[in-house]
Structure 1
């Protein structure tokens, strides 16, 4: 059995780990590497979709392998120059872009294995997205070469959207199967239809490996760890933590991995100087106190698709007699999640009425049809700001121009900024908060080297990743023959603490 880490060995995110036996293999995740992308691209400078995979290959942002969709290959890219792998599936750990963001580029014959919740989220993310090849994970636009210049790829509008084949790690609810096969608005006479891929259970899809999937604790629901059984047993944590709502599920995976000879483990927090005690309970208590102290509107800013944190603010809203308001996109995602697990999370939630000319089909036909009576107008919030908690991110700050709050509270309940570009975003955010006289919890702006930079206040966010102590516990419990750290900038921590560590550079491999 051979393991090759094509990406994610030296950065946080971008995992692309190929496990092969007897000439057949699977990828553990196939994510977008933000650290690499950030060297060349920014918010308004992106790879060119009309050139397919050309830009990404040229800049070494994806592995130089012959495994990509034929309709994304322009005429001036010769794929025969690159090795061709036999890829039976991508085993997706969870629906964060740094783990799933390059799956859309893969040959359409390669299915995705994922939990029901991750499948629902991938589909919802695609439904509400309107641009970029990278968003086309669940289904994609078929492209063709432009007749006059075959270096240019254009969307074939006469062909339906094509869904990727999906392998589910758990029972497939009827509601989820229906959701995966339907794109809102496809009933229209001139609308593009969705031609869905096959959807099956893992036991009904033959792979060269026997695979055990375990739901684990992370900052997004549906996160999955895997154990692959072949000549050897390989355990892959994906992103994992031990201090959230599903910590017991992470422990169950660790118990199941005790026969694994190889442990591929994330090490996000090994690069931090301090390893503070944190939990969702601490976050709840601090955020509750901040809301209780607020005299006006409250804005809660947390990571996209961190619905455990959303549920935290649902409970805070109940305790403080406020109404929680989410965006229409969040409401659509909550609908998708209900299709996966049968839990309605919209009972005590309102939806922000955004002032725009036209509603998207997913909002018009799903969100408004189901919860049209839950919409709240910015004028209503402006009249009674003390009645609401708004789930807004930095990109929603523009809506404050319609609400026009005079004072209130902003709670930053997300991860810290780790790049200079992210620090610039905080400067812009801080200008918005000062404009509307909002009291800030979770960070403050301080002078560093003569310029303002964010300094983060502990207790308002709990990481989605295991602490050093928890990583040590996982490794000691599994007791593998080989440890392969990924998703880290500090693999040396593993070397310093354990004797059987294999440190990879990207594209390194090992026989086990």
Structure 2
């Protein structure tokens, strides 16, 4: 018997939270946030309350009400009952924590499989109890980096390690001795089990889990096959076939015939496949024709796109200069932008002097050494300022703009205020076009920046669009399904489940929170 419940990713792009229960155990496939669902209630200056975010999300049904899943200290700080607090009623929730379920022997999941390190697949993992997280080693390293430099706050930062949320007392200030909520000093690493391509592992309760490398817009992405005696469930995660890796899940699992295949369909309605090689060719051409500074925007976690932009810049005779967050990410996986023919952009920050002290609170902007290795102890100073010595600042970019390609996403456009941009400077958007109201507002602001600085004048001050998606097209998805031949196909991560077909069996369109049983 297989029981399947989709708590997210239903008629939605992202937010996957899929629970599979088998005779021997249970596993979640991803536990991500839904940007589209959150935007129904929140915006830039209207956000969940940081001190009780999990309660806000539960009340708005942005997190599912499931017993035995969430951390006790996320729901209620440790030692809470020992304090006489006026607001106690607001901390009561209608779900049993993972810790409480463990004490009573009630149901709780055996593991979470994380397909990749995008927050729409792992962003709510910090709220989960202490059960194992299964993913590739690369995904764990990327989650580490996102936690360090990804602009996350509070519990949201605890992607790979936890600090107990606990009651404490104010020691100084106007109200010494009064209660507050804080975090323990001790950090406890999550239990990660790193999956390797095609190598099966047996986890708690006897579930056999096999990871399969897949191509996506972030490295380390995996699909997952879960097996018990007489039952197989396959989860694709996010997938494409046109990137640099060459992985093809359909070829790997040709003729598998699993009982259930949970398949993403972001671009199921698109007929034409994308091509990362064409992106490189088009970028090379536009960089070569550019008379001023060439700027290109893409997400700093997309290492495939980094390699594409780097190679295109070098082929056009320009020096590629990348966001320091991307450089920090590369360093976490044992690589260096400097060793690969690239440079790193040195942003002005802090007191805006290009002084080493300006970067004390944003260490990744001045060097790529791990934060944990920095030390300010007397006699044991250990810092990394390689970007000050070897990076490229606005000064160098302004002196010789036609020599460079600068990685500059929309949220770093304020750096343009330091540039002296010559006529003929361009901006290329090497990521998806706006597809929701929030992104459309950002697009209007972007156009104002471009027109104000006369960027892309030959394109009516609009961004040049050169991109290949992180997701497969409809025909590519259908070809994969036809090869794998599932008995039951479950579309997720899609706005168009009606476009899926399954010649080998049935198609089940899930409903959010509704359990389906498969014999």
TM-score range, shorter chain: 0.7 to 0.9
- C-alpha change, 1:439 and 1:351, in structure 2 (3 Å) is same
SS, match of residue 90 in structure 1: strand
CA distance in 1, matches of 2:438, 2:139: 29
CA distance in 2, matches of 1:10, 1:366: 40
Q: 2:437 aligned to 407, 417, 420, which one?
A: 420
CA distance in 1, matches of 2:226, 2:434: 35
Gaps of 5+ in 2: 77-87, 102-106, 171-178, 351-357, 370-383
The equivalent of 2:325 in structure 1 is: 329
SS, match of residue 144 in structure 1: strand
CA distance in 1, matches of 2:314, 2:158: 37
The worse-fitting range, judged by mean Cα deviation, of 206-215 and 395-404 is: 206-215
1:97 maps onto 2:119 in alignment: yes
Larger radius of gyration: 2
CA distance in 2, matches of 1:32, 1:122: 15
Q: 1:493 aligned to 496, 499, 502, which one?
A: 499
1:258 maps onto 2:256 in alignment: yes
Shift of 1:444: 7.2
Q: 1:385 aligned to 394, 398, 401, which one?
A: 401
CA distance in 2, matches of 1:60, 1:425: 27
User: What's the TM-score, normalizing by structure 1?
Assistant: 0.84
Q: Kindly indicate whether the alpha-carbon contact (under 8 Å) linking 2:24 and 2:205 is maintained by their aligned counterparts in 1.
A: no
The equivalent of 2:28 in structure 1 is: 27
Shift of 1:442: 9.6
The worse-fitting range, judged by mean Cα deviation, of 500-509 and 158-167 is: 158-167
- C-alpha change, 1:399 and 1:280, in structure 2 (3 Å) is same
1:217 maps onto 2:209 in alignment: no
Shift of 1:437: 1.3
Shift of 1:233: 0.6
1:243 maps onto 2:242 in alignment: yes
- C-alpha change, 1:241 and 1:381, in structure 2 (3 Å) is same
CA distance in 1, matches of 2:490, 2:478: 13
The equivalent of 1:177 in structure 2 is: none
Shift of 1:260: 1.4
Shift of 1:227: 0.6
User: What's the TM-score, normalizing by structure 2?
Assistant: 0.82
1:269 maps onto 2:267 in alignment: yes
Instruction: List per-residue Cα deviations over 1:83-138 (Å, max 9, x = no partner).
Output: 9642111100001111011101111x122111111111000111124542323211
- C-alpha change, 1:316 and 1:440, in structure 2 (3 Å) is farther
Shift of 1:291: 0.6
CA distance in 1, matches of 2:180, 2:227: 41
1:155 maps onto 2:182 in alignment: yes
CA distance in 1, matches of 2:180, 2:62: 19
Q: Kindly indicate whether the alpha-carbon contact (under 8 Å) linking 1:243 and 1:280 is maintained by their aligned counterparts in 2.
A: yes
Instruction: List per-residue Cα deviations over 1:145-198 (Å, max 9, x = no partner).
Output: 4669xxx97222x52233211110139xxxxxxxxxxxxxxxxxxxxxxxxxxx
Q: Kindly indicate whether the alpha-carbon contact (under 8 Å) linking 2:236 and 2:263 is maintained by their aligned counterparts in 1.
A: yes
- C-alpha change, 1:116 and 1:370, in structure 2 (3 Å) is farther
SS, match of residue 389 in structure 1: strand
CA distance in 2, matches of 1:27, 1:219: 22
Q: 1:507 aligned to 504, 509, 513, which one?
A: 513
- C-alpha change, 1:221 and 1:415, in structure 2 (3 Å) is same
CA distance in 1, matches of 2:333, 2:167: 37
CA distance in 2, matches of 1:96, 1:245: 19
SS, match of residue 269 in structure 1: coil
Shift of 1:417: 1.1
- C-alpha change, 1:443 and 1:103, in structure 2 (3 Å) is farther
- C-alpha change, 1:442 and 1:126, in structure 2 (3 Å) is farther
Q: 2:344 aligned to 351, 354, 370, which one?
A: 351
Q: 1:480 aligned to 486, 489, 505, which one?
A: 486
Shift of 1:144: 1.8
The worse-fitting range, judged by mean Cα deviation, of 390-399 and 494-503 is: 494-503
The equivalent of 1:135 in structure 2 is: 157
Shift of 1:330: 1.3
Shift of 1:80: 5.2
The equivalent of 1:198 in structure 2 is: none
SS, match of residue 272 in structure 2: coil
Task: Please give the residue correspondences for 1:159-174 in structure 2 after superposition, counting only pairs within 5 Å.
Answer: 159-170=185-196
Gaps of 5+ in 1: 172-200, 446-453
